[in-house]
Amino acid sequence: MSAQKELEAQVIALSALLLAVEGVELLATKGTYAQENYEALFASLLRFNQENLLDYYDNLYCLERGRQLLLRLLQKKLSPQKMRYALQLIYIERKLSKNLALMQTLRQKLLHAQQQADYFEGYHENVVANFADIYSMSASEAARKIKIYGNASFLGQKSVANHVRALLLCGIRACALWRANGGSRWQLIFNRENLETCARSLDFNVLTSAPKLD
């Protein structure tokens, strides 16, 4: 893979991470998040060994919001809360990746979730609850739990809590895809300019109808 294609893959993964992070924040504070964003991100939990990073996601136009958030991050304008969640997910994914037993269990659970989603023909509440359980038994076991700040009346609702954990799992997945394509925290510091240039060159609204990146 060329250096440019690797950068493009990193931008896609980081855009997905930040879209998930924003979803967590909105659910915690407002109790709602767009269904199309769920569908875009949840798809990545049920797909494996894709040749193209875009193939992990549905509703690619939803990633456009994530790209905008990424540009804010690279310009040091992202809100502290979103930045905190993103950095915590990067840390947790790194810890999880080093635990081979948890990684094996995670993969098995996601394969089962894939069958469950096929049975329910979509992201039924049972599927989302399963994603939430998978997050709890894998990411939460690998590292310290993320403290979610928001409205207790929303976070106390089982469905909202499940969707929050499911989105955190999507964030973990995005971090793994980012790291698999050369991403690292050091790169966010020292390669910021190249990442920003690449992020500005992509437009997920255009990519939705255009040939996918090689």
User: CATH no. for residue 119?
Assistant: 1.10.3890.10
Question: Stretch 7-14: mean pLDDT, rounded?
Answer: 96
Has residue 213 been placed in a domain?
no
Has residue 179 been placed in a domain?
yes
Q: What is the pTM of this model?
A: 0.94
Please say if the pLDDT value at position 210 is more than 50: no
Domain count, the chain: 1
Q: What is the pLDDT of residue 214?
A: 43
Give the tens place of pLDDT for each residue, 78-103: 999 999 999 999 999 999 999 999 99
Name the residue range of residue 61's domain: 3-207
> What percent of the chain stands above pLDDT 90?
76
Has residue 214 been placed in a domain?
no
- Name the more confident of 213 and 23: 23
CA-to-CA distance for 42 and 198, rounded, in angstroms?
Answer: 25
CA-to-CA distance for 43 and 54, rounded, in angstroms?
Answer: 11
Has residue 83 been placed in a domain?
yes
Has residue 212 been placed in a domain?
no
Please say if the pLDDT value at position 211 is more than 50: no
What is the overall mean pLDDT for the chain?
91
Give the tens place of pLDDT for each residue, 29-83: 999 999 999 999 999 999 999 989 999 999 999 999 999 999 999 999 999 999 9
Q: What is the pLDDT of residue 196?
A: 95
